[in-house]
Amino acid sequence: MQRFILGKKNHITLISGILILIGFISKYAFGNIDVLIWSLIIASALGVIPIAIQAYQALKVKVVSIDVLVTIAVAGAFLINNFEESAIVTFLFLFGAYLEQRTLNQTRSAIKELTEMAPESALKQMENGEFEEVEVDEVDVGDILLVKTGAKVPVDGTVLSGEGHINEASITGESVPVGKKKDSQVYAGTILENGTIQIVADRVGEDTTFGKIIELVEEAQDSKSEAERFIDRFSKYYTPAVLVLSIVVWLFSRDIELAITILVLGCPGALVIGVPVSNVAGIGNGARHGVLLKGSEVIHDFSNVDTVVFDKTGTLTIGNPKVADKEIYAENANEVLNYLASVENESDHPLAKAVVEHIGDTKLYTVEKTDVIKGGGIVAQVDGHRVAVGNVALMEKENVVINEKVHADIKRFEENGNSLVLTSVDGELKALMGIRDQIRPGVKEDLQKLKRLGVKNLVVLSGDNQGTVDLVARELGLTEAHGHMLPEDKSTYIEELQEKGQIVAFVGDGVNDSPSLALAQIGIAMGSGTDVAIETSDVVLMNSDFSRLPHALGLTKATANNMLQNIIIAVGVVLILLASVFFSEWMNMSIGMLVHEASILVVILNGMRLLRYKLRY
């Protein structure tokens, strides 16, 4: 019966409102006082039932809730025949709860949208080679799936054949479609806008990137910050204190109406709801913009960060070495590049891949008598010539003459942070290439945004040589740069910063970053990083989009400020209402309840502003 009545609470609110309206129309339009009184009595009795049930449920678990205060106040008003007050108070309380729930549902719209985006079916290749539609739960790792134009990608996978453009807004927050072809990665919940592709399932169910996003956002929205825990403790003692205050006032004044009014006005509804609304809206905004904030506590800590420490490779840089500088010391440049590409095509070393990618489509010769020199490079026979590809040490071993110009070029390349690849043909130096990891586009501007948001120290820690790290630091305007850092060295450095009183955020993407991610007050993982890095972090930037970092910091600062605003509004309204009871003649239960419910709506609407938050600079 209790569940049935609470399920019909909105209907009871509507009926109560209609009865009150009928009563006042009867009085002022027709002068019928009897209809007014009976309408108010029925509205009061009907309206107080769901409130009393909620009060009873709270008292069963030894909690003196707002419902307890309102139930006592309404019963008291009813007993002293103040039916107008009792009817209006119950209606406003129920109507306020309805509006509160409705607006709260809007703040949770981000997670609702995410769950609605979850794919439900997939076209799976069966044993006979035909594709049949199955439930997404029936897809296993290794299955081949067909995705058609307009369909959702059902799992995380790799494209086997076909091409198309996919809207990855559900993962990255970016609405511009991304081109996909053979060997491209695709994610569950994204939408194929055009084309047809076949994919092999790499991750299914909750293990997909989309599944993890939903899980993390749900956990984050259910978690409580220190501010919320404080308010819970405060309300636990505050609500009984209001009850005691009203009893004391009645004992001294013998004014039961005054005591009942204090019960109504002292309800801390806006205080209880204000902070959770800010948190939910902030986390929801982050989810929409490719930023996962793992809980309310993260918002508080992240908003106070003054030092951000970065891993270099894969974070500040793309993590994909490319040829950045090149010098050719031969007239037949194309022939030299053909020899170089032929030799490097035999190797899977990252530098070799960078060289082959840079040269592109070219004539490849048969490579014979290949000799891999450990720590040096490769020597081989190509088209009847002895070709050596490697570092300076290999050139010296091959007795290749390095003149002053080449020495100057080598020095310049090294100062620019390059790894060197030299090429000699028949003992003569023919080419010099400088290869380095490329800085992510737009990172410098994003770091400037972090500074404007109050970050004082920007530090890079890397296992690379100090020269390379210094180059990156100079180019990006970082505060400090430290090279030759092992994972344990990074953790030690973060501890030293924390001992100095700095609040540290660490940004990384690899397994070796996990200790630092866990140790820093805020660990921030790039979304394309390892599972371990993502699991141990507090914030995840989906799709490794570095530009999400300033938005994340600005959002947490806005959310923390919003919480404070809501607390001030809630406490201020209660103090003003209570003061009005003692120092004014116009304050009564109905006006107090109206202001009280209005304050709840104000803090909810204030919190909902965070759903539209965008970084202004």
Q: Which two tokens stand for residue 151?
A: 């369909």
User: DSSP secondary-structure letter at 289?
Assistant: T
User: Catalytic one among 311, 446, 470, 513?
Assistant: 311
Q: What angle do CA 74, 80, 83 make, to 5 degrees?
A: 55
Q: Which two tokens stand for residue 168?
A: 């990855």
Instruction: With CA atoms as reference, report the closest residue to 306 among 498, 39, 515.
Output: 498
C-beta separation of 168 from 289 below 8 A: no
Instruction: With CA atoms as reference, report the closest residue to 449 among 477, 474, 470.
Output: 477
Assign 157 to helix, strand or coil: strand
In order, the DSSP letters of 515-530 are HHHHHSSEEEEETTS-
Instruction: With CA atoms as reference, report the closest residue to 534 among 517, 553, 550.
Output: 517
Assign 583 to helix, strand or coil: helix
Q: How far does the chain reach from its first CA to its final CA, in angstroms?
A: 55
CA of residue 609 relative to chain centroid, distance: 17
Do strands 419-425 and 144-147 pair parallel, antiparallel, or not at all (unpaired)? unpaired
Residues 6+ away with beta carbon under 8 Å from 159 = 180, 181, 182, 183, 184, 185, 186, 197, 198, 199
Determine whether 434 is exposed, middle or buried from the number of CB atoms within 10 Å of its CB (0-12, 13-18, 19+): buried
Element (H, E) at 425: strand 419-425
34 noted as active-site residue: no
Instruction: State the amino acid at position 322 in one-letter form.
Output: K
Q: Which residue has the tokens 């109560």?
A: 16
Assign 617 to helix, strand or coil: coil
Q: Can you tell me the distance from the alpha carbon of 174 to that of 154, in angstroms, rounded to the nearest whole number?
A: 19
C-beta separation of 202 from 141 below 8 A: yes
Q: Which two tokens stand for residue 324?
A: 């950045």
Q: Which two tokens stand for residue 409?
A: 């070029």
Q: Can you tell me the distance from the alpha carbon of 37 to that of 253, in angstroms, rounded to the nearest whole number?
A: 28
Q: Which residues are catalytic?
A: 311
